[in-house]
Amino acid sequence: MPRPHFSPVLLTDLYELTMLQAYFEERMRDVAVFSLFVRRLPERRNYLLACGVDDVLAFLETLRFDEAALAYLDSLGRFSTRFLHYLADLRFTGEVYAVPEGTPVFAEEPLVEIEAPISEAQLVEAFVMNQIHLQTVLASKAARVVGAARGRQVVDFGLRRMHGTDAALKAARAFHIAGVHATSNVAAGQAYGLRVAGTLAHSYVQAHDDEHEAFRAFARLYPDTVLLVDTYDTLAGVRKVVDLARELGPRFRVSAVRLDSGDLGTLAFGARRILDDAGLRSVGIFASGGLNEDEIARLVAAGAPIDGFGVGTDMGVSRDAPSLDIAYKLVEYAGRGRMKLSTGKVLLPGRKQIFRVERDGIADHDVLGRRDEPPCGRALLQHVMAGGTRRPEGRVTLNEARAHAKTELDRLPAQLRDLAPATPPYRVDLSATLMQDRDALRRQHDREGTHR
C-alpha cells in the first residue's frame, strides 16, 4: 500500500533510537548478543513451529535510514545532527543464528540469536520480534489444524479477518510451511508462488434469481468447479447439483460441493448420501464456516465424509493463543554474560545452542547449552547470516521449509502432536555448563551489590 508512507527502518520503538543515541554518545560499540525466545508455551500448544526468519534476514540485509526517515527523526527535536549522520551510514553488519523455519521449539529455547555492535542489534528488536512472533504464532496454530485434518486438505480462508494485510501475506507463507494446501489470498499467491483456491460466494447465488441457474452458469464457465450449496437450504442445494448432473450428462464435471454453515457433520452425511444415490461418487465434499482444529478433529473422528476444509478466522488470528510471551533479551555485551533479575524473569546468559536428543529417530528431550560446548544431540541453531550477508543456511525456499517442517514434526513424540496438552510436557534440560554460567553470573551480581 503506498499510503500511509513510512520508512521500514522506523518499524522500531522510539526507545531503541534514544538508546542508540546514548550508545553513540557514550561510544559503546562492543558486540552485543540478543536472544529471542518464548518464556512459556500457551496452554494449548505442545510445541511451537519456528517461522519468520526469512523476513528478518531480508530486513537486516536492506536496513538503512532513508532521507524520509532521517527528516522525520530530525523533526522530533531529540536527535543531534551528528547522530543523524551516523544513522545515515548505519548498516547491519552482524551475525545471525536461527533454527530453520519449520523447526518445533519449546519454552526458553532461542529461535534467533543476533550478535552485532550493540546499536545494530538493539535497533532491530521490534521488527525481529514482530515477524518471528506473528509467523510462529500462525505456523504453530496451522500445524495443529493440519494435524487434525489427518491428510485431508486444509485451505486458508483467513484474509478477511486477519490482522491487516501484512498478517494476511505472512500467514499464507507460514501456513504453507505448516502444511496448509492452498490459500484464497491472491496477493499471497502472487508474492510467494503459493497455490491459490476459490470458487464462488453466497452473493453470486443471491445475485441470480434462482440457485439452479446460478449453478448452471457457473459450471458452464468452470466445469470442474466446487459449488457452494448452502445459500438457502443445504440439502436442497445438493439436489440442485444432482439436477445439474442429469441436465449436463457426460459434460458434468463438478468436483465438489461446499458446505459453509449449519451442522457440518450431519449435512456432510446427508450430502454424501444424496450424491452417492445419484451415482455422483466422484463429487467431493468441502466444508468451511467457523472451523478450527477441535471441530475438524471432531468431524474426522465422527467419520464425516468431508474431503477438505476451508479454515478462516480461528486459524487466521490463532484465536486461542493470539500472542506468545516472546522476548528479545541482551545476554552478552563486550564478551561478558548479562542477565536480568527482576521478578519472575531470570535470563540465561551468553550464546546458546539447542541440542535435540533423539532415540530411534524420535525426539526424547532437548538440552539448552552454550553454543561452544560439545554437542550432546542434534544442534538446531544454524549460522544463517555472517557480516550482514546471508550464508547458504539462510537461503531456504518455502518448499524446503515445508518439507523440513514435515520431517521435524514426524520426529516429535506422537503425544506432542495431539491437540490435548501433553503430560508431562516435552523435557528441556539446561546443560551443566550453562547452569554454571548462570549461577556464576548471579553470584557476581550479588557480590557487586547490584541488588542493593
Cα–Cα distance between 119 and 135 in angstroms, integer?
A: 25
Cα–Cα distance between 49 and 141 in angstroms, integer?
A: 9
| Residues 76-105 close enough to bind a second copy by CB under 8 A | 76, 78
Name the phi and psi angles at 103, rounded to 5. -95, 130
Task: Quote the least distance from Cβ 172 to a second copy, whole Å.
Answer: 10
Exactly one of 59, 215, 286, 355 binds a second copy (CB under 8 A); which one?
Answer: 59
- For a second copy, what does the binding mask look like between residues 235 and 254, x meaning CB under 8 A? -x------------------
**Only segment of 68-76, 91-99, 297-305, 353-361 that touches a second copy (CB under 8 A):** 68-76
On the CB side of 360, how many CA atoms lie within 13 Å of its CA? Answer: 1
Task: Quote the least distance from Cβ 225 to a second copy, whole Å.
Answer: 8
Could you give the C-alpha distances from 164 to 160, 174, 284, 367, in angstroms and in order? 9, 15, 33, 38
DSSP 208: S
* Residue 183 grid coordinates: 490459500
Cα–Cα distance between 181 and 308 in angstroms, integer?
A: 10
Name the phi and psi angles at 201, rounded to 5. -115, 170
* Residue 377 grid coordinates: 544431540
Site of grid cell 533479575: 341
On the CB side of 344, how many CA atoms lie within 13 Å of its CA? Answer: 3
Number of residues counted as binding a second copy (CB under 8 A): 124
Task: Quote the least distance from Cβ 65 to a second copy, whole Å.
Answer: 11
Helix (H) or strand (E) holding 310: strand 308-311
Nearest to a second copy of 281, 452 (CB atom): 452
420 binds a second copy (CB under 8 A): no
25 binds a second copy (CB under 8 A): yes
**Only segment of 109-117, 220-228, 352-360, 388-396 that touches a second copy (CB under 8 A):** 220-228
17 binds a second copy (CB under 8 A): yes
207 binds a second copy (CB under 8 A): yes
Q: Angle at CA 316, nearest 5°, toward 313 and 318?
A: 95
Task: Quote the least distance from Cβ 407 to a second copy, whole Å.
Answer: 25
Exactly one of 92, 106, 157, 426 binds a second copy (CB under 8 A); which one?
Answer: 157
| Residues 111-150 close enough to bind a second copy by CB under 8 A | 118, 122, 125-127, 129-131, 133-134, 137
Nearest to a second copy of 187, 412 (CB atom): 187
Task: Quote the least distance from Cβ 406 to a second copy, whole Å.
Answer: 23
**Only segment of 4-12, 88-96, 105-113, 433-441 that touches a second copy (CB under 8 A):** 4-12
215 binds a second copy (CB under 8 A): no
Distance of CA 50 to the CA centre of its chain: 7
256 binds a second copy (CB under 8 A): no
Task: Quote the least distance from Cβ 189 to a second copy, whole Å.
Answer: 7
**DSSP string of 289-345?**
SS--HHHHHHHHHTT----EEEE-HHHHTTTT-----EEEEEEEETTEE----STT-
